[in-house]
């Protein structure tokens, strides 16, 4: 079976390496973003500033014009990845729970794929922006957000059962999202991990039996440059919450400004330039029953296609 046939059946070949650098992926991402998703909005300006500065310098070095829209886009959770994960691991009409919602993209894409989505985020500002975008796309009933603490999900008003968990938590303190003391990105790693484990447990308790949970995470380093092992810690947190480790995927991302930075990093300390994220898929209960529950994979049809 060729890749095109696999694409027809499953949107994208269901291999463990997902290549976000490919032409197909970039074209599809553009189609999603053209619908009006602005997932970088609602986050603190200075979070994005560091990235913006390095992109501006990179474009300058390359002799290219720097368009701010380019770097805003980079901080957006990938809509194509969202489409694949939602279509592969949740049933049409199912409920998706996202305890660390961040921007609007997972909510909007889930809603457009016929699921109902509930995102929880500690940041009021982020929630307001996400709701604005969902309203603009008329999916405000299907994509909803609650301001609340994922570490106390029940107290945050999350009720009922869900058919999928899809989330991208903070990677420790790699990016600090707010000064809110409940924001786990503000905490030293051990405290962060304690909160994260509790949030995973709370979310897993709301997942119906025989369902999938997907965590998109990445490894990061401590102040001494030593890898924290966050991917391994996520797997352990999920296992402790009775989510069985099922698929180990890798999202290969565009290099962005890395070619500019990697020489110094590698020469000084043999650090590899990181161009991937980990896509960890877990199952609660029986994987075959979970698959039956999901049913056929249906792609999103864009209005003008
Ligand atoms: C990795 S970020 C999301 C960025 C992501 N790539 C996106 O889709 O935009 C994780 C989110 O977790 C939120 N967060 C941090 N601590 C939280 C907590 N205790 N409860 C709920 N959300 C929290 C932050 O506000 C941030 O928006």
Q: How far apart are CA 236 and CA 242, in angstroms?
A: 10
Q: How many degrees, rounded to 5, is the angle at CA 200 between CA 199 and CA 204?
A: 120
Q: How far is the CA of 3 from the centre of ligand 1 (A)?
A: 35
pLDDT tens digits, one per residue of 237-277: 999 999 999 999 999 998 888 888 999 999 999 999 999 99
Residue 105, domain member (yes or no): yes
Atom of ligand 1 nearest to the CA of 178: 25
Q: How far is the CA of 121 from the centre of ligand 1 (A)?
A: 6
Residue 239, domain member (yes or no): yes
Residue 83, domain member (yes or no): yes
Residue 32, domain member (yes or no): no
Residue 215, domain member (yes or no): yes
Give the number of domains in the chain: 1
Residue 150, domain member (yes or no): yes
Q: Which domain holds residue 151?
A: 77-248+275-294
pTM score above 0.75: yes
Residue 204, domain member (yes or no): yes
pLDDT tens digits, one per residue of 213-227: 999 999 999 999 999
CA distance readout (Å), 219 to 138, 227, 248, 249: 36, 7, 14, 14
For residue 110, the domain's CATH number is 3.40.50.150
Q: How far apart are CA 174 and CA 171, in angstroms?
A: 6
Identify the residue whose C-alpha is closest to ligand 1 atom 4. Answer: 102
Q: How far is the CA of 1 from the centre of ligand 1 (A)?
A: 40
Average pLDDT, the chain: 90
Identify the residue whose C-alpha is closest to ligand 1 atom 12. Answer: 100
Residue 61, domain member (yes or no): no
């Amino acid at each position: 079976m060729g890749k095109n046939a696999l694409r027809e059946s499953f949107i994208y070949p269901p291999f463990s390496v997902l290549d976000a650098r490919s032409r197909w992926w970039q074209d599809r991402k553009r189609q999603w973003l053209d619908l009006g998703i602005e997932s970088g909005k609602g986050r603190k300006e200075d979070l994005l500033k560091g990235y913006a500065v390095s992109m501006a310098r990179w474009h300058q070095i390359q002799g290219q014009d720097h368009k701010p829209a380019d770097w805003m886009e980079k901080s957006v959770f990938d809509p194509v990845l969202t489409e694949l994960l939602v279509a592969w691991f949740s049933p049409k009409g199912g409920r998706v729970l996202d305890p660390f919602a961040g921007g609007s993209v997972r909510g909007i894409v889930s809603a457009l794929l016929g699921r109902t989505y509930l995102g929880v985020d500690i940041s009021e500002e982020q929630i307001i922006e996400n709701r604005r975008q969902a309203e603009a796309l008329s999916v405000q009933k299907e994509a909803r957000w609650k301001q609340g603490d994922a570490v106390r999900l029940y107290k945050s008003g999350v009720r009922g059962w869900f058919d999928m968990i899809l989330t991208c938590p903070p990677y420790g303190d790699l990016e600090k999202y707010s000064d809110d003391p409940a924001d786990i990105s503000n905490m030293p790693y051990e405290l962060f991990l304690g909160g994260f484990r509790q949030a995973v447990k709370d979310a897993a308790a709301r997942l119906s039996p025989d369902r999938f949970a997907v965590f998109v995470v990445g490894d990061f380093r401590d102040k001494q440059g030593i890898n924290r092992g966050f991917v391994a810690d996520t797997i352990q947190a999920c296992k402790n919450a009775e989510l069985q480790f099922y698929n180990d995927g890798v999202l290969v991302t565009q290099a962005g400004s890395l070619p500019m930075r990697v020489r110094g990093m590698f020469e000084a300390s043999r650090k590899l330039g990181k161009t991937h994220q980990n896509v960890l898929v877990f199952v609660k209960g029986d994987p075959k029953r979970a698959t039956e529950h999901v049913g056929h994979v249906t792609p999103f049809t864009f209005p003008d296609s």
